[in-house]
Amino acid sequence: MSFRTHSPVDYVEDVSPGSGALPPRARYASSDAASLSLNGSWRFRLSATADAEDDAFAEPGYDAGDWAEVSVPGHWVLQGHGSPIYTNHLYPFPVDPPRVPTENPTGDHLRVFDLPSDWPSDSGAVLRFDGVESCARVWLNGTDIGEFKGSRLPHEFAVGHLLKPAGNVLAVRVHQWSAGSYLEDQDQWWLPGIFRDVTLLHRPAGGVLDFFVHASYDHTTGEGTLKVDSDVDGRVTVPALDIDVATGESVTVPVEPWTAETPTLYDGVLATEGERVPLRIGFRTVVLEDGLIKVNGRPVLFKGVNRHEWHPEKGRALDLETMREDVLLMKRHNINAVRTSHYPPHPAFLDLCDEYGLWVVDECDLETHGFVEQAWRDNPVDDDRWTPALLDRAARMVERDKNHPSVVIWSLGNEAGTGRGLTAMAEWIHGRDSSRLVHYEGDINCRDTDVYSRMYAGHAEVEQIGRRLDGGTHKRRELPFILCEYGHAMGNGPGGIADYQRLFESYDRLQGGFIWEWIDHGIKHPELGYAYGGDFGEELHDGNFVCDGLLFPDREPSPGLVEYKKVIEPVRIEGDGDGGSVRIRNAHDFADLSALAFEWSFQVDGETVESGSLSVPVLAAGESAEVKLPEPPEVRRGETHWTVRAVLASDTAWGAKGHQVAWGQFPVTGRVPVPAAAGTAPVLADGRITLGPGTFDARTGALTAVGGVDVTGLRLDVWRATTDNDDGAEWQTDLRYGFMWRKLGLHRMRHRLDAVELGDGALTVQTRVAPAAWEVGLATVYRWSSDGERLRLAVSVTPEGDWTVPLPRLGIRFGLSGAADPVTWFGGGPGEAYPDTRSASRLGRWESTVDALQTPYVRPQENGARADVRWAEIGGLRVEGDPEFFFTARRWTTEQLDAARHRTDLTPGDTVWVNLDHGQHGIGSQSCGPGPLPQYFLRAEPAEFSFLFSEVS
């Protein structure tokens, strides 16, 4: 006999999208119809299973006085009830679709509300949920009005007949796991709850239902054509364009087009008998033509990011200001496109994209990545029983977002394998909206899609694709290419993005890409700083793979974002080689240069000695000009540079006058050679050797002081606290050097002292630096000399044995005692830079503190190196490098940095550890993509480099 018959919670495991909801329709931000936000504090009760409690709580009069309270929108696991789980693609429950575990955290939410006194007395009303994870059942005043899945999609219910003026009881039961969870396996935290707005909307008789704004632009005539299809007839007015037409009728007038660079929106109104809805209309036409994505007749280059919704305390429950901050940060960092990975965002985000100007790839709430573990068996997207749910998701996205000019591409979802369900979605979308393109990366042959899209392809392959030598189906060969994900911004990195950008700008077919991803999903944590996977005791998790953004969790830009901003600048500023003029190229797709002002400055040894404004012709998009620079100032001695900057000429919606958009820097006269510093002989006395300002231990040859500055532990150093990109993802088939370095023991090098030799002009210390267990080593000679005032160290390194791996770093390290602040240097700055992340590093004089030199990656790792440093002063010591060096200083050792899991594991000691590196290995993107390109390898080869030490006077 079986006891599992019909249960009141059967809907949870039902593949259907739900029941009771109204058909999906266009979203509009406001109207003159009344509405009531039901956001705020709700009563809350958590149960361990879906059916632990009956539905008595939904009945009017139920006393929930002893329940907890949660904020809506919100996730209960971030409000003290249960905890979040992070997995990349593994389902955190047994895979047996559509069944889910008996342990199914279920949150009953209760809210009692009165209608405002001026709420209209006619009965039409709709209750709207903008996002609930993952499945909800809803009762109003004791009546069951339906249930739904599709976490990041809106659901509306007709409720007018159930409303009372006062004491309405809205009960919502939310289940963490449902059949829908199988469709929502995006790489992110699993966060149940009512995480977007809940709103009651008055629906007046004759009010607006669904409508579709068609606003196209003909670049050959400069005219826009507007037609608004509406389920309810009415009129459309656009005062600025003198438009007043009936719905369904089209009208063509001269307009300014909408582009991400010039986001012209026209305010209009859709008026039906019962309602007036404000419209924000952007005229633009998206087509596939000549194998390219063109908007308003021109190909576009996506300089994009993948954006998950994230707030370090509120999870995916974002407020408007946070969304605006995201958009402003993107605009200020030259980003022009967003892929809404991997679900439609809060609708207000798209309003902001329309307003400020960002191209949007709007992606459906769909990912079934976990099925990859079973060779995609039982994948819902290839099982007709699930197709209604997939079509429901496609429709809810397209219908909600179809009136946004910013949305230019619909994406079916992410990492869901292949199958008939995806084809059905693509067919439906193409049929419903022929004015946009369809994307899905998993459709490798572009059977259903209009764009060839890949993720994390290496540079060489991208170049092949750009050259159209990649083969593939006939259809695919005709299509443009985008990298929907590249440049994995986990920890330090991504490296190599400038090299991608060069490819994008060299081959028409390559229409750009989207960095993975916008922001680290760290959760603010009292002891750990920011928590990541595993910090909540999850039995399965993927660690800090969830912290892979260009922003830290608190939205501070990481060096990766600064680098990206430079790499994608919309104006290219290059020197002509002889210092007399500058070449300016307008790299926009649409905008001319009228919004920008140009400034020149002239630096001697990194200090600006003169500056002025530069008059640059108002170049159209794509045009270049050679612009003459003024006569350079007379300079007797020193290294000189021109710096030319493009800044906003006046305040814009997203940036203030003077905001720097682009810059270029080029040398005029080269570096003055570092003096030789020889002539003084080392003197041995009392167990010490002195050589000019240097004091050494006579037995070991170790430097102990430069003048009055104590120095400890100076020696060759090859180890860096491996970055996420050094470690690489475990599925990578390429060599993962982080792993190999550790295996070889580069983190535990032994230093054998072979000889301390006193000569006439030098103190020479011979050593061999090598790891236990292996034959490889680095014969290292430290040769000290002095002119009496300054102390010169020449290091020569000769690899011995069979080195099959590059070195993490190559240089020296030493400790300084006490506070070493301030730190000043002449070299690259202001931020960190590594061989393949150095585009944004600008030569100058910089001042900082040891603490401020650190880049606070959520999982601590190598960071903070300043590149191309000529000299640095720290803790009373001055160091000049020949050649230039990478400069790093911190209040903990590399070993401590390497061992730390969270920022809070790092506590400053008494010593400041300084690294002066002749080289660093590239960064790459191997935490998900390819490693560094060969030209950024730090190979184990013979090397010589020197430093000149002196006491700061």
Q: Binding residues for ligand IPT, per CB under 6 A?
A: 88, 186-187, 342, 414-415, 455-456, 485, 516, 545, 548, 928
Query: Which is closer to ligand IPT, CB of 88 or CB of 665?
Result: 88
The DSSP line for 27-38 is: --S--SS-EEE-
Go through 712-743 and write b for each residue having 16 or more CB atoms within 10 A of its CB, e for each that does not: eebbbbbbbbbbbbbbbbeebeeebbbeebbe
Distance in Å, CB of 929 to ligand IPT, minimum: 8
What contacts 637, CB < 8 A, 6 or more positions away? 672
* The Cα angle at residue 673 between residues 671 and 675, in degrees rounded to 5: 150
The residue with tokens 């990349």 is 88
Two structure tokens written together for 651: 């305040």
Which helix (H) or strand (E) segment holds residue 439: the answer is strand 437-439
Query: Which is closer to ligand IPT, CB of 90 or CB of 779?
Result: 90
Distance in Å, CB of 89 to ligand IPT, minimum: 7
Distance in Å, CB of 441 to ligand IPT, minimum: 8
* Whole-number Å distance between alpha carbons of 595 and 627: 18
Distance in Å, CB of 440 to ligand IPT, minimum: 12
Largest CA distance in the chain: 103
Two structure tokens written together for 254: 């001269």
Distance in Å, CB of 414 to ligand IPT, minimum: 5
Backbone angles phi, psi at 249, to 5 degrees: -100, 145
Query: Which is closer to ligand IPT, CB of 414 or CB of 888?
Result: 414
Helical H segments across 568-665, by residue range: none
Strand arrangement of the beta sheet that strand 223-230 belongs to: 211-218, 223-230, 250-254
Query: Which is closer to ligand IPT, CB of 133 or CB of 485?
Result: 485
Residues 633/602, Cβ–Cβ less than 8 Å: yes
In the complex, which residue's CB is closest to ligand IPT? 187
Two structure tokens written together for 695: 């004091």
Distance in Å, CB of 188 to ligand IPT, minimum: 8
What contacts 284, CB < 8 A, 6 or more positions away? 215, 216, 217, 257, 258, 259, 295, 296, 405, 408
Task: List, in sequence order, every residue forming a beta bridge with 359; answer none if it has no partner.
Answer: 337
Residues 402/344, Cβ–Cβ less than 8 Å: no
**189 to 407, 672, 903: CA distances (angstroms):** 26, 54, 20
What contacts 397, CB < 8 A, 6 or more positions away? 153, 344, 362, 364, 365, 410
Two structure tokens written together for 608: 């600006």
Residues 810/942, Cβ–Cβ less than 8 Å: no
Query: Which is closer to ligand IPT, CB of 489 or CB of 619?
Result: 489
Nearest alpha carbon to residue 164 among 110, 208, 98, 113: 113
Task: List, in sequence order, every residue forming a beta bridge with 581; answer none if it has no partner.
Answer: 628
Distance in Å, CB of 415 to ligand IPT, minimum: 5
Backbone angles phi, psi at 347, to 5 degrees: -60, -30
Distance in Å, CB of 187 to ligand IPT, minimum: 3
Query: Which is closer to ligand IPT, CB of 339 or CB of 890?
Result: 339
* Whole-number Å distance between alpha carbons of 417 and 438: 16
* Catalytic residue from among 399, 415, 563, 880: 415
Orientation angle between helical segments 420-432 and 387-401, nearest 10 degrees: 30
Distance in Å, CB of 439 to ligand IPT, minimum: 13
Residues 776/801, Cβ–Cβ less than 8 Å: yes
3-state secondary structure of 430: helix
Orientation angle between helical segments 347-356 and 320-332, nearest 10 degrees: 30
Query: Which is closer to ligand IPT, CB of 548 or CB of 589?
Result: 548
Distance in Å, CB of 433 to ligand IPT, minimum: 24
* Whole-number Å distance between alpha carbons of 507 and 273: 53
Which helix (H) or strand (E) segment holds residue 791: the answer is strand 791-800
Query: Which is closer to ligand IPT, CB of 452 or CB of 913?
Result: 452
Distance in Å, CB of 449 to ligand IPT, minimum: 16
Query: Which is closer to ligand IPT, CB of 342 or CB of 565?
Result: 342
Query: Which is closer to ligand IPT, CB of 541 or CB of 809?
Result: 541
Distance in Å, CB of 677 to ligand IPT, minimum: 50
**92 to 183, 184, 238, 362, 731: CA distances (angstroms):** 13, 12, 51, 27, 19
* Whole-number Å distance between alpha carbons of 362 and 438: 10
Annotated active-site residue 485? The verdict is yes
Query: Which is closer to ligand IPT, CB of 105 or CB of 370?
Result: 370
| Residue 257 CB-half CA count within 13 A | 20
Nearest alpha carbon to residue 604 among 810, 843, 384, 385: 843
Query: Which is closer to ligand IPT, CB of 93 or CB of 545?
Result: 545
Query: Which is closer to ligand IPT, CB of 914 or CB of 928?
Result: 928
* Catalytic residue from among 367, 485, 517, 884: 485
- Given CA atoms 200, 202, 208, 209 in this order, what sign does their dihedral have? positive
Distance in Å, CB of 314 to ligand IPT, minimum: 21
Active site residues: 415, 485
